[in-house]
């Protein structure tokens, strides 16, 4: 059965899940908006365990929902407020790597977390770092080293790209010179897709970080 998480809406809506074949809204395990406005989410999928969903809120809460074998029932198995530092609690982006079972989460201002997620969907902190004057808008996992995959963090206003190792150390930094709306990393295609707020969709070569092409998006002013 295939599921879809609806577009995140402000206010009291919180996180909602629909069953695509039937179009039916499924029951949520917690009251709508209990943790604040949902600002980021990601599916947790592993071949040997039950699937789940992780989401973050404007108040800095990380919540984990586990899907039961009955397919249409979810239970909240974890919820806690993360430390986003003094500059803002809002969770801006999340990414999950099924190969390592790791989850990365960024706050709107400077702080990036790395967790491991077990079969019960309980996150265990690995490392948290703060990058001065960096405002993460998107995060992704990159190449996998001996002790885990790299984390790629893309800043919004600063347009900076930082690559972190398993200890949170910055391996390299690159300025894209753009205002980043979102970003996706594809190791298979050796590509990075960046939503350039001012110019359109930008294609970068992952191995060299060179900008290859820009696809402009027509708009009516």
Q: Residue 11 domain-assigned? A: yes
Q: Which residues lie across from 202 on neighbouring strands?
A: 194, 214
DSSP symbols for 26-68: PPPSS-TTTTSSEEEEEEE--TTS--EEEEEETT-EEEEEEE-
Q: Residue 139 domain-assigned? A: yes
Q: Residue 189 domain-assigned? A: no
pLDDT of residue 31: 61
User: Could you give the count of Cα atoms lying within 13 Å of 16 in the half-sphere of its Cβ?
Assistant: 15
Q: Residue 70 domain-assigned? A: yes
Q: Is 169 helix (H, G, I), strand (E, B) or coil?
A: coil
| Cβ contact 35:57 at 8 Å | yes
Q: Residue 66 domain-assigned? A: yes
Into how many domains does the chain fold? 1
Which residues have a Cβ under 8 Å from the Cβ of 150 and sit 6 or more positions away? 141, 142, 143, 144, 163, 164, 165, 171
Angle ∠(156,152,84) on CA atoms, nearest 5: 65
Q: Residue 183 domain-assigned? A: no
Rounded to an integer, what distance in angstroms lies between the CA atom of residue 18 and that of residue 10?
18
How is residue 190 written in tokens?
Answer: 């050796």
Q: Residue 117 domain-assigned? A: yes
Along the 221 residues of the chain, how does pLDDT read in single tens digits?
444 443 333 335 678 888 778 888 888 887 656 778 889 999 998 777 778 899 999 999 999 999 876 667 888 999 999 988 777 789 999 999 999 999 999 998 889 999 999 989 999 999 999 999 899 999 999 988 777 899 999 999 888 899 999 999 999 998 888 899 999 999 889 999 999 988 889 999 988 888 999 998 776 66
Range of the domain at 43: 3-178
User: Could you give the count of Cα atoms lying within 13 Å of 63 in the half-sphere of its Cβ?
Assistant: 26
Q: Residue 193 domain-assigned? A: no
Question: Residue 83: which CATH number?
Answer: 2.130.10.10
Q: Which residue has the tokens 């703060």?
A: 130
pLDDT of residue 69: 66
pTM: predicted TM-score of the whole model, two decimal places: 0.86
């Amino acid at each position: 059965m295939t599921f879809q998480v609806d577009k995140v809406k402000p206010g009291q809506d919180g996180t909602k899940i629909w069953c695509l074949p039937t179009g039916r809204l499924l029951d949520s395990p917690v009251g709508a908006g209990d943790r604040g406005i949902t600002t980021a989410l990601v599916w947790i999928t592993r071949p040997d365990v039950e699937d789940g969903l992780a989401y973050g809120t404007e108040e800095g809460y990380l919540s984990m929902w586990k899907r039961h074998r009955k397919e249409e029932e979810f239970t909240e198995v974890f919820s806690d407020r993360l430390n986003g530092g003094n500059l803002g609690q809002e969770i801006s982006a999340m990414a999950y790597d099924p190969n390592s079972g790791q989850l990365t989460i960024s706050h709107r201002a400077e702080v990036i977390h790395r967790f491991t997620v077990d079969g019960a969907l309980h996150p265990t902190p690995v490392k948290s770092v703060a990058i001065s004057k960096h405002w993460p808008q998107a995060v992704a996992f990159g190449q996998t080293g001996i002790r885990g995959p790299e984390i790629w963090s893309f800043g919004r206003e600063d347009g900076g790209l930082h690559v972190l190792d398993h200890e949170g150390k910055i391996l390299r930094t690159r300025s894209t010179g753009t205002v980043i709306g979102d970003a996706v990393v594809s190791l298979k295609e050796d590509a990075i897709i960046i939503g350039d707020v001012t110019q359109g969709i930008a294609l970068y070569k992952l191995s060299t970080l060179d900008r290859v092409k820009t696809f402009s998006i027509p708009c009516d002013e």
